[in-house]
Amino acid sequence: MNFNLTNTFYNNSKVLFLFMFESFDIDEVLKDIKIDKKIEILKKRDLFAGKYKEICELDIFEDKGYEKAILIGLGKKEDLTRDRFIRAYGSGLSSFAYDKHSEIDVFIKEDIDFENLLDTISETTIISTYSFNKYKKEDKKSIIESVNVISFRKFIEEDFSKGIISGRYVNMARDLVNEPSNIMYPETLSDFVVDLSKNHDFEVEVFDKNEIKKMGMEAYYSVAKASKKEPKLIVMRYKGHPSSDEILGFIGKGLTYDAGGLSIKSTSGMVTMKSDMGGSAAVISAMCAIAKSGLSVNVTAVIPACENMISGKSYKPGDILKSMNGKTIFIGNTDAEGRLTLADGMTYGIRNEKITRVIDIATLTGAAVRAFAEYVTPVVTNDKEFLAKLKIASNEGNEMIWEMPIVEEYRDTVKHDIADITNIPGTPGMITAGLFMEEFCEDIPWIHIDIAGSSWLDKKKNNFIKGGTGAGTRMLFHLARQFSTIK
Ligand code: BES
Ligand code: MG
Ligand code: ZN
């Protein structure tokens, strides 16, 4: 999709998007566009009142080149925020996206103003026109290719660029999550990442099951071993600041399927478990965005990819496993598998890759879903300054995070009587899962991000269709920007 800046109306496009507040004055709007009497009907305001998220399609401009105007209500002028603009524009666009038009004009008047305006428009346009229909005979998708933003302000086309990158890779993360597990499993995922390295400036190394075993990753390997699909430990290295020893580490949960293991899930609980690699999708996509932006920062991503299945080789409730960092783990429930894979992934990242700060990101707990549904991503950390950076990043990326509290007693629940720790520390489940991860961070700055709720939509919401959301992609991308002198 390409984005152009212009200060004239009537480009090649047949469609014009117009934003209006409740207080809109139609003559004001028409003064800029220099048309048309038929819009008079709007003066009666029975067709369109400019209410927040209101959409009105008008076939009015045929004589002047436009076939259609899409009016989008922004509500009260004083309530306008970037977030509300995204919801309104995105909803309007997504309901129109599959129309026959490949080019659209979008008029941004002076009264629409907030930071990163053009990035917001490019990102929202790309995200709102996403589809995943490749398995349907009729692949219905948006054909919008060109977006002309009409504005009388001094923007430059470069102002679209961050949004183009983040939108594109959010959609790639959604593709990865939406791909079913019979197609996307550890090996195909690692092949995909190797392919990405051919046109993105990072290197990839993939370790197979023998190497995983040899490195002492018993926690990770035990989860993986029941499946016929073999695990792949995927490591991506982006070296944008070679003279620095600082390496940001992203550990992404890559369960390409989670059946629960012997502590098997219910049928309904299993239906969406192809999405249990949402953390790795975010990490892979953020790495691409970072590399494409040429940021001056070192980032290493570690993805312990595998499936949690059932067979005679399954690991069992009651087992005690030795993790790569030496701690022994009691298995209370084989469905608490993500933390086992991430624990070894984190140890590998810290010890073998020498990462100096670590983020783990995972579809980790049902508790996170129950706490915030898809709206907010809960996090826990051992480092407030690091989290402050993630807060800025998540705000820039239009993702919402919330820090969960840690009280000392929660830490006690991770301990076990006959092993060092247990994989089912109990309630509050999101926080104690985070504290399980803390056991492996070796006191470097660490943040745990649980996207179990935010990474998946059971039904369309605003400009996001049902399915994977790409949650985490934008905040990790913008976090890396926080550490980069090149923005
Ligand atoms: N992948 C699930 C968490 C999940 C649940 C993600 C719902 C998305 C939607 C994870 O592996 C899991 O099963 N967690 C268990 C842990 C429990 C057994 C301690 C959970 O949260 O129920
Ligand atoms: Mg599970
Ligand atoms: Zn899982």
Angle at 47 between CA 45 and CA 49, to 5 degrees: 50
Ligand 1 touching residue 480 (CB < 6 A): no
Q: What is the mean pLDDT of residues 293-318?
A: 98
Q: Specify the ligand 1 atom closest to the Cα of 269.
A: 7
* pLDDT value for 377: 98
* pLDDT value for 37: 55
* pLDDT value for 36: 58
Q: What is the mean pLDDT of residues 296-301?
A: 98
pLDDT for 302 beyond 70 = yes
Q: Give per-residue pLDDT as tens, 156-169.
A: 999 999 999 999 99
Strand 456-457 and strand 15-21: the pairing is unpaired
**In this prediction, what percent of the chain has a pLDDT beyond 70?**
97
Ligand 1 touching residue 369 (CB < 6 A): yes
Q: Give per-residue pLDDT as tens, 368-403.
A: 999 999 999 999 999 999 999 999 999 999 999 999
Contact 318, 404 (CB under 8 A): no
> 429-468 as b/e, with b when 16 or more CB fall inside 10 Å?
bbbbbbbbbbbbbeebbbbbbbbbbbbbbeeeebbbbebb
- pLDDT classification of 155: cutoffs 50, 70, 90: very high
Q: What is the mean pLDDT of residues 341-360?
A: 99
* pLDDT value for 487: 86
Q: Give per-residue pLDDT as tens, 174-213.
A: 999 999 999 999 999 999 999 999 999 999 999 999 999 9
CA distance 7 to 109: 11
Q: Is 162 designated active site? A: no
pLDDT for 76 beyond 80 = yes
CA distance 58 to 38: 10
Tokens of 278: 């949402």
Ligand 1 touching residue 365 (CB < 6 A): yes
Ligand 1 touching residue 433 (CB < 6 A): no
Ligand 1 touching residue 333 (CB < 6 A): yes
* pLDDT value for 40: 63
CA distance 13 to 35: 16
Q: Specify the ligand 1 atom closest to the Cα of 333.
A: 18
- pLDDT classification of 216: cutoffs 50, 70, 90: very high
Q: Say which ligand is closest to the CA of 452.
A: 1
- pLDDT classification of 95: cutoffs 50, 70, 90: confident
pLDDT for 44 beyond 70 = no
* pLDDT value for 46: 76
* pLDDT value for 402: 98
Separation of 444 CA from ligand 2 center, angstroms? 27
Q: Which domains does the chain have, with CATH numbers?
A: 2-154 (3.40.220.10), 164-482 (3.40.630.10)
pLDDT for 34 beyond 80 = no
Report the nearest-CA residue for atom 3 of ligand 1.
Answer: 365
Separation of 181 CA from ligand 1 center, angstroms? 17
Q: Give per-residue pLDDT as tens, 77-86.
A: 999 999 999 9
Q: What is the mean pLDDT of residues 104-118?
A: 94
Ligand 1 touching residue 335 (CB < 6 A): yes
* pLDDT value for 35: 60
Bridge partners (DSSP) of residue 106 are 17, 149
* pLDDT value for 63: 60
- pLDDT classification of 327: cutoffs 50, 70, 90: very high
Tokens of 61: 């401009």
- pLDDT classification of 65: cutoffs 50, 70, 90: confident
Angle at 27 between CA 23 and CA 31, to 5 degrees: 125
- pLDDT classification of 62: cutoffs 50, 70, 90: low
Which mutation among 308, 330, 335 tests ligand 1's pocket best, with the greatest number of atoms within 8 A of CB? 335
More confident residue, 48 or 338: 338
Q: What is the mean pLDDT of residues 420-441?
A: 98
For residue 13, count other CB atoms closer than 10 A to its CB: 23
Ramachandran area for residue 443 (φ above 0: left; ψ -120 to 50: alpha; else beta): left
Q: What is the mean pLDDT of residues 12-30?
A: 85
* pLDDT value for 397: 96
Q: Specify the ligand 1 atom closest to the Cα of 365.
A: 21
Separation of 260 CA from ligand 1 center, angstroms? 8
Contacts of 254 (CB under 8 A, 6+ apart): 186, 189, 234, 277, 279, 280, 303, 304, 305, 306, 341
Q: Specify the ligand 1 atom closest to the Cα of 263.
A: 18
For residue 93, count other CB atoms closer than 10 A to its CB: 25
pLDDT for 432 beyond 80 = yes
Is residue 376 classed as helix, strand or coil in its secondary structure?
Answer: coil
* pLDDT value for 275: 98
Smallest Cα–Cα separation from 59: which of 113, 119, 15?
15
Element (H, E) at 382: none
Separation of 276 CA from ligand 1 center, angstroms? 9
Contact 407, 461 (CB under 8 A): no
* pLDDT value for 100: 84
Ligand 1 touching residue 341 (CB < 6 A): no
Separation of 187 CA from ligand 3 center, angstroms? 18
Separate counts of helices (H) and strands (E) for the chain: 15, 20
* pLDDT value for 24: 84
* pLDDT value for 97: 76
Q: Is 370 designated active site? A: no
Smallest Cα–Cα separation from 192: which of 324, 315, 287?
287
